[in-house]
Amino acid sequence: MVKIKSAEREHIEGISTVCCEGCRDTYKGIRSDVNIERNNQLFYNYTR
């Protein structure tokens, strides 16, 4: 069973990890590693 709920502070690290890994897998070979990591730091950080 899937339970949908709003994200809370305790979920931030897990969400960030999933998003970063997804971007790495999606863009590997399409964008440079430097570009991917820069975007991950920009978009998937704790304060955002």
- Would residue 5 count as lying in a domain? no
CB 40: neighbour CB atoms within 10 A?
Answer: 18
Predicted model pTM: 0.81
Closest CA to 17 of 48, 45, 38: 45
pLDDT at 47: 86
pLDDT at 12: 93
Distance CA 24, CA 19 (A): 9
- Would residue 1 count as lying in a domain? no
Q: Which domain holds residue 37?
A: 10-43
Number of domains into which the chain is organized:
1
Tokens in use for 29?
A: 């070979």
pLDDT in tens, 10-48: 999 999 999 999 999 999 999 999 999 999 999 998 888
- Would residue 29 count as lying in a domain? yes
- Would residue 32 count as lying in a domain? yes
- Would residue 3 count as lying in a domain? no
Tell me: pLDDT of 4 over 90: yes
